[in-house]
């Protein structure tokens, strides 16, 4: 078996993504987007579009497709397109043209003429800070303000005033976009009143529920065996999925809709921009006396998402006094949403940069400062970490990276100024409810199936490996199946939860199907009638003889036997706090004359519980660390005053290429955490990005003496 089950299909081009599906009589849809950031649509002249070659339908708020706001318990209510004339951001879906070919639909969409009643638009986070608001009530717990004070301390201001050493600074991170290789797309097919939707998504069962709610339909099947990148940006039904499904129902034929690359940047959602003010107070030994973290984030006009950047300040360090606050700034910008390590990634840039600044003020090694303030539990909670080996990550990382040779002021190599930087990384260890079915087959293979998705995370391989281990057979005998809402509800591939969630359910399903197999083997008339039977290595044993489960099923004229197992977070949440931990190191070279910054070495050492598949795990971490370098030196959406994205495409939105990334060293400190889940695995899909941007910025400071407190770091910042 390949160490990645999906690899042969992907490298040979046989992996079938959503838009790869084609059906007889299929039509093509193209989304029309707004060209103002705020206002009301006065009129849409679709006469020319309707008479264009091949056009079979043009839809708008004046002639809408039937959709209603979709409501999911996990996410709340979502906006759906074409149901009103309000425009709240530039690039909002406002129309849908369906034609016989994609090119005909696209060309006709260009003929739609829209007139607006424009209103003033607020598109700048900096300009909106003065009118910042509290987050809406009932949101995520980690977006609320929070204070913990030591006995006798009246306020965080008093704690800071009493601190012998204080650093205070403001940090900012840019608006970012998921920039997945696979654009958001959908193919919708109705048959006998049932919708099948082929669309890359992070949870096929949730996509089916989402579309069912929006369409007021019960019979919806979502299929997405392969997802070309998601990172939080494909958690809910996209505009193409909603519009294609509604249009296909009206037209009585399959409809495919694919967003163009520039459309993806506005017609979906991205990461919020942030401004964060951090104050740290410590004594002369580096012990943290006070930590204040005030955060502001951009959000869309509907205030539907908060980027909780101060979450890490509650958990990472054992400060004696803590105060965090969160404000939002509603803007006329595309929606914001979860994006790889939401909150933690931009929050860690501020927190870990500030910790580095405190180390400089104390003339203390940054690693020693972090070790001195290592937390045993989140502040304000009595529940200690179930398993934490961050100190080992820091020490191993320092030894592997040559940290002992680091100078406080960097060193030179010809025309290059060279600096070393590091940062801590943490990401919550979570689980979502998941159900898995295991079916033992008469040919001595087993099918392990769940509706969850594999957006490149390696979950398909996890099903194979954990399934094989739980059934005590070789992985080659496992057929893993994913990405179909017809399978048992497998939860979402998000929040770094998939392995822990599905893996635990696999173990439960395996135990149940083995119990049922043994009961069948010893039942009346069966080969082991009335005998005490046991199971090992895929075989039923009793009385000195053995049969494989396939032989037993064939003897009983059965094609298969199956069972499902379900898992969800439970009692463990009342006993411990759970997280993955890591230490990230990098070397940055800044050219003495051009001020070009290049990352030349990277190392990440992680405590993420048991590692199921070393290759997939390393790939996840490497991808995250590259993402962190991208945030530090490349990525940032530039929003013009009128709300248009100046660089909303792959030409202008900078992302790293091979030449930007050196070899990445990854090391796992492997301690299975069976207090978190039976598999012992903790999430690692997102932690790789968390500390990287701060490590780069800290290395830049070490090399140049210039402290850059905003992302991305540009040449101008280092002149």
Q: State the catalytic residues.
A: 686
Tokens 């809402």, residue located: 485
Please give the distance of CA 202 from its chain centroid, rounded to a whole number.
Answer: 9
**Residue 253: strand, helix, or coil:** coil
CA-closest candidate to residue 78, choices 209, 177, 183: 209
Phi–psi pair at 361, nearest 5 degrees:
-65, -35
Handedness of CA 691, 695, 697, 701 (dihedral sign): positive
User: Distances in Å between the alpha carbon of 614 and those of 2, 488, 662?
Assistant: 13, 27, 20
What does the alpha-carbon distance between residue 572 and residue 682 come to, in Å, rounded to a whole number?
Answer: 14
166: region left, alpha or beta (phi > 0 left; psi from -120 to 50 alpha): beta
311: region left, alpha or beta (phi > 0 left; psi from -120 to 50 alpha): alpha
The full DSSP string for 550-598 is HHHHHHTT-SEEEEEEEE---GGGGT-B-EEEEEEEEEEEEETTT--EE
Q: Which helix (H) or strand (E) covers residue 250, if one does?
A: helix 239-251
CA-closest candidate to residue 489, choices 460, 516, 452, 525: 452
CA-closest candidate to residue 337, choices 271, 384, 418: 271
The strand pair at 321-331 and 146-148 is best described as antiparallel
Phi–psi pair at 215, nearest 5 degrees:
-95, -5
Give every CB contact of residue 264 below 8 A, 6+ residues apart in sequence.
177, 180, 183, 184
Q: Which helix (H) or strand (E) covers residue 288, if one does?
A: strand 288-300
Strand locations in 151-202, DSSP E? 165-173, 185-191, 194-198
CA atoms within 13 A on the CB side of 76: 11
User: Environment class of residue 699 by beta-carbon count within 10 Å: exposed (0-12), middle (13-18) or buried (19+)?
Assistant: buried
The full DSSP string for 399-448 is HHHTGGG--TT-EEETTEEEEEEEEEEEEE-----EEEEEEEETTS-EEE
Please check whether residue 273 is in contact with residue 311, taking contact to mean a CB–CB distance below 8 angstroms. Answer: no
Please check whether residue 653 is in contact with residue 264, taking contact to mean a CB–CB distance below 8 angstroms. Answer: no
What does the alpha-carbon distance between residue 47 and residue 702 come to, in Å, rounded to a whole number?
Answer: 63
What does the alpha-carbon distance between residue 234 and residue 198 come to, in Å, rounded to a whole number?
Answer: 13
What does the alpha-carbon distance between residue 410 and residue 587 come to, in Å, rounded to a whole number?
Answer: 10
What does the alpha-carbon distance between residue 5 and residue 470 come to, in Å, rounded to a whole number?
Answer: 18
Strand 597-607: give its sheet, edge to edge. 411-413, 416-428, 579-591, 597-607, 664-668
360: region left, alpha or beta (phi > 0 left; psi from -120 to 50 alpha): alpha
Give every CB contact of residue 130 below 8 A, 6+ residues apart in sequence.
none
Question: Residue-wise over 217-241: b if at least 16 C-beta within 10 A, else e?
Answer: beebbbbbbbbbbbbbbbbbbbbbb
- DSSP classification of residue 74: T
**What is the length of the chain?**
719
User: Distances in Å between the alpha carbon of 636 and those of 45, 237, 334, 551, 686?
Assistant: 35, 25, 14, 60, 19
């Amino acid at each position: 078996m390949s160490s990645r089950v999906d690899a042969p299909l992907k490298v040979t081009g046989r992996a079938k993504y959503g838009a790869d599906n084609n059906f007889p009589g299929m039509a093509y849809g193209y989304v029309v987007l707004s060209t103002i950031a705020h206002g009301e649509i006065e009129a849409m002249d679709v006469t020319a579009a309707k008479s264009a070659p091949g056009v079979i339908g043009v839809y708008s708020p004046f002639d809408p497709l039937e959709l209603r706001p979709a409501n999911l318990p996990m996410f709340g209510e979502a906006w759906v397109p074409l149901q009103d004339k309000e425009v709240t951001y530039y690039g909002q879906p406002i129309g849908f043209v369906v034609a016989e070919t994609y090119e005909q639909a696209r060309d006709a969409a260009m003929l739609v003429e829209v007139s607006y009643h424009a209103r003033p638009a607020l598109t700048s986070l900096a300009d909106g800070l003065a009118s910042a608001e509290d987050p809406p009530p009932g949101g995520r717990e980690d977006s609320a303000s929070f204070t913990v004070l030591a006995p006798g301390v009246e306020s965080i201001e008093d704690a800071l005033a009493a601190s012998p050493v204080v650093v205070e600074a403001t940090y900012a991170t840019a608006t970012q976009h998921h920039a997945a290789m696979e654009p958001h797309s959908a193919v919708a097919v109705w048959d006998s009143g049932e919708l099948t939707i082929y669309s890359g998504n992070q949870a096929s069962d949730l996509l089916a529920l989402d579309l069912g709610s929006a369409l007021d339909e019960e019979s919806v099947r979502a299929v997405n065996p392969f997802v070309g990148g998601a990172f939080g940006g494909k958690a809910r039904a996209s505009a193409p999925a909603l519009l294609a499904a509604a249009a296909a129902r009206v037209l009585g034929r399959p409809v495919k809709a694919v967003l163009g690359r520039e459309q993806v940047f506005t017609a979906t959602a991205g990461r919020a921009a942030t401004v964060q003010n951090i104050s740290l107070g410590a004594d002369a030994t580096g012990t943290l006396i006070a930590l204040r973290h005030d955060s502001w984030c951009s959000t869309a006009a509907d205030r539907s998402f908060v980027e909780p950047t101060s979450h890490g300040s509650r958990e990472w360090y054992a400060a004696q006094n803590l105060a965090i606050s969160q404000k939002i700034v509603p803007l006329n910008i595309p929606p914001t949403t979860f994006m790889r390590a939401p909150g933690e990634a931009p929050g860690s840039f501020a927190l870990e940069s500030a910790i580095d600044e405190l180390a400089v003020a104390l003339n203390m090694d940054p690693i020693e400062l972090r070790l001195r303030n290592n937390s045993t539990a989140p502040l304000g909670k009595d529940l200690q970490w179930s398993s934490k080996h961050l100190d080992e990550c820091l020490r191993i990382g320092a030894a592997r990276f040559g940290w002992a040779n680091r100078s406080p002021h960097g060193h030179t190599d010809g025309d290059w100024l060279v600096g070393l930087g590091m940062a801590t990384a943490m990401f919550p260890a979570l689980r979502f409810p998941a159900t898995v079915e295991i079916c033992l087959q008469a040919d001595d293979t087993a099918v392990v199936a769940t509706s969850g998705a594999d957006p490149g995370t390696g979950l398909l391989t996890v099903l194979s490996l954990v399934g094989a281990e739980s059934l005590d057979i070789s992985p080659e005998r496992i057929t893993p199946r994913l990405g179909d809402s017809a399978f048992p509800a497998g939860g979402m591939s998000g929040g770094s939860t998939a392995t822990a969630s599905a893996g635990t359910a696999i173990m439960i399903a395996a135990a149940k199907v083995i119990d049922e197999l043994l009961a069948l083997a010893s039942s009346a008339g069966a080969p082991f009638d009335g005998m005490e039977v046991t199971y090992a290595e895929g075989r039923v044993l009793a009385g000195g003889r053995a049969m494989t489960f396939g032989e037993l099923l064939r003897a009983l004229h059965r094609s298969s036997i199956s069972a499902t197992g379900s898992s969800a977070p439970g009692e463990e949440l009342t006993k411990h706090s759970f997280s993955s931990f890591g230490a990230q190191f990098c070397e940055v070279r800044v050219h003495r004359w051009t001020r070009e910054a290049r990352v030349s070495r990277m190392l990440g050492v992680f405590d993420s519980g048991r590692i199921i598949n070393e290759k997939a795990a390393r790939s996840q971490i490497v991808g995250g660390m590259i993402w962190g370098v991208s945030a530090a030196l490349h990525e940032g959406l530039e929003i013009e005053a009128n709300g248009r994205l100046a660089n909303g495409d792959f030409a202008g939105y900078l992302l790293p290429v091979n030449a930007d990334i050196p070899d990445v060293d990854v090391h796992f400190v492997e301690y299975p955490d069976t207090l978190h889940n039976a598999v012992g695995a903790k999430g690692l899909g997102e932690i790789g990005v968390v500390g990287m941007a701060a490590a780069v910025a800290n290395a830049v400071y070490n090399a140049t003496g210039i402290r850059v407190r905003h992302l991305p770091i540009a040449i101008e910042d280092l002149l």
